[in-house]
Amino acid sequence: MKSLVLAEKPSVARDIARVLGCKQAHKHYFEGKQHIVTWALGHLVELKMPEDYDRKYETWRLEDLPIIPKKMGLKVIRQTSHQFRAIERLAKRPDVKDVIIATDAGREGELVARWILEMIGWTKPIWRLWISSQTDRAIRDGFRQLKPGAQFDRLYQSAVCRAEADWLIGLNVSRALTTKYNDPLSAGRVQTPTLAMIIEREREIQSFVPVPYWTIRAKIGSITAVWKRHGGHRLFDQDEAKQLLARLDGQPARVVSVKRKRKSEPAPLPYDLTELQRDANKRFGFSAKKTLSVLQRLYEQHKLVTYPRTDSRYLPSDMEATMTERLLAMKSGYEDVIAPLLAKGKAKAAKRVFNDDKVTDHHAIVPTDERLNLSRLSTDERKLYDLIARRFLALFFPPYESETTTAVFDIGGEMFVAKETAVVNFGFKAVLGKEETDAKPTLSHLAEGQTLPSVQLEREQSFTEPPARYSEADLLAQMEKYGLGTPATRADIIERLVETEVVERKDGRFYPTKKGKQLIELVNKELKSPELTARWERELEAIARGKGNPQQFLANIRRQTQQLVAEIKQSEQVYKAPNLTNLTCPECGALLKERKTKDGRMLVCSNLACRYRRRRDPKLSNRRCPQCHRRMEMHEGKAGLYFQCRPCNIVEKADETKRIAAKGSERALLKKYSPANESFGTSLGELFKQALNEKKE
């Protein structure tokens, strides 16, 4: 009898199969003496769409909302159904005794596998592979310590609750807004409060009025001291600043006090995903999405780091024994740092990083014991690995120690303060590359009661500044603060805001668009609040821990969906598509909207039922107008490809089969005339045969 192993991706399945000795390679799986290793392709199963419950929902109508099925159903995703059918066949083999879930060890990975098993009607035992790295050793150890599937039932319930809540809230609210205001408007329990934060920051900036203020500095020999009163150093009254400067001019400085304070700063904890995304954005300008993508390659392909999608910055106590092996694996890239550590014997990391109580489903992101070969990494992979590696190495170094000297001077009865910091021990900062220059001390020779006559005063005017627009690092910090999304989903949420054209990314900062500003006025007040989403995330986490009630959670979501849709229906708000042009659609007569896409500027029909779209600067074909002989524009409409000469107002339908055959693209033909597209009424086989014949001719 054999175990069926279900991985999430083919690459991971390949590694597991190699470790387990499954050498028989088939199209959809690998097979060995004891295991059959197959894979999903991300999600193979998804929640049914509204039209799967009733065909009338294919047309979006406000009066049909809210759509709340009595029981949420599942369906196989058509594009990857071939892999699902393969898994289904393997599951029905009489020699398969159980299944081992080897998808990503997290909420989403659990959902990927469980939905597949539910759709195939799996009734045999379930085991769970739960590992935090993809090294051969981790895989072998994981298979020796398989956990009962029932241990993760609560995690699965939490994942289902999250998926159904997003479907009910996101789909219904988005459809309601889109149909009421006749423009594609997207809203959701995480993206909407995130957009609200960006717009609120923009309001703060736009309403900000700069206020002038003055600071007074005293040059006392080589020392610079700043005037202070009640802890503040700004003067907002120009006359007072002038009077103060005039009164103090020519006065000597008396040393009131000289205090020295030692400071010890321990090495920072290793990264969780959000902090790594923030640092990568600050240091390299990486988007959160790019950081996660590069990190996933370091985890899956190179096996150099542990599981990426974590919200913990601690390590379990049993990992303490693996520290030396990890250092040895990294040595080729960081020999100057690691060699001295190993020369002392067994290297020890800071004790505070090992804390079982603060490790969630996964521990912090740290290097694995896979041998490092920097030459195999791309530039971006090296940059990100270096951040993780140096943060990890810092754990083996002593604290950074410094001494701050603060001198307080009395000049004409006013207090002036000077500070300087001297490094006592660079400690871990030498590893992080954050060394500070050891400036020549200027306060060390001072003594209390000493009078210094050589004083020069200067006044400087400045202006208060508005808060900065959010960078990606700032936005991630805010999302983390309010519990918006999870480390695994935040990057996608940010990209979704950009893709739906409600925010723009300029010079690394986020600007709300006209569409975004209008949308936030249309969305329900409750949905804009970060507190609501934070509460949902806490409830989902409680369900995953076995302390929440999934039935109660979903009942509340259904009531909330009805309330949110009712508010939109009753709303008297007005919306105008900001990208509407004065051009009319040649197919239905509605006004066209201009959109920015990867293919350039596109004109899209504002009538949601019409599929007309063309380039703002359309492509010219080689076909000539029969009247003026100019090259005709090439467009794609709901009736297919056609050519147009605007000056002569001539439109000609293209022969799709000849066009594709001439390009020699059988794959394009198959895609164009799949069974789902019956626009031309000719069978796929006839079209394909005709295209091949014309290609040969």
- Whether 29 sits among the annotated catalytic residues: the reply is no
- 10 Å Cβ neighbour count for 570? 7
680 phi and psi angles, rounded to 5 deg: -105, 0
**Which among 130, 524, 443 has a CA at the least distance from the CA of 307?**
130
User: In which element (H, E) is residue 259 found?
Assistant: strand 253-265
- Cβ neighbourhood burial of 598 (10 Å; 0-12, 13-18, 19+): exposed
Residue 251: alpha-carbon gap to chain centroid:
58
What residues have CB less than 8 Å from 208, skipping those under 6 apart? Answer: 466, 467
596-601 LR contacts (CB < 8 Å, sep 24+): 596/501
* Structure-derived torsion over alpha carbons of residues 194, 482, 68, 45, reported in degrees to the nearest 10: 80
Token pair for residue 261?
A: 């304070």
The whole-angstrom separation of Cα 46 and Cα 68 is 16
Q: Are 34 and 3 in contact (CB under 8 A)?
A: yes
Beta bridge partners of 636: 613, 641
| Residues paired with residue 5 on neighbouring β-strands, in sequence order | 37, 100
Sequence-ordered alpha helix ranges (H) in 182-301: 191-206, 238-248, 273-284, 288-300
Question: 3-class SS at 253?
Answer: strand
What token pair was written down for 185? Answer: 């408007």
DSSP 95-113: TEEEEEEES-SSHHHHHHH
Report the distance separating Cα 379 and Cα 487, nearest Å: 24
Q: For residues 150 and 404, what is the distance between their CA atoms, to the nearest angstrom?
A: 56
Residue found under tokens 């092996």: 325
Which member of 307, 385, 400, 673 is catalytic? 307
685-688 own/partner pairs: CB under 8 Å, 24+ apart: 687/657
H or E segment and range at residue 640: strand 640-645
Could you tell me which of 73, 68, 142 has the C-alpha nearest to residue 101?
142
Q: Which residues are catalytic?
A: 307
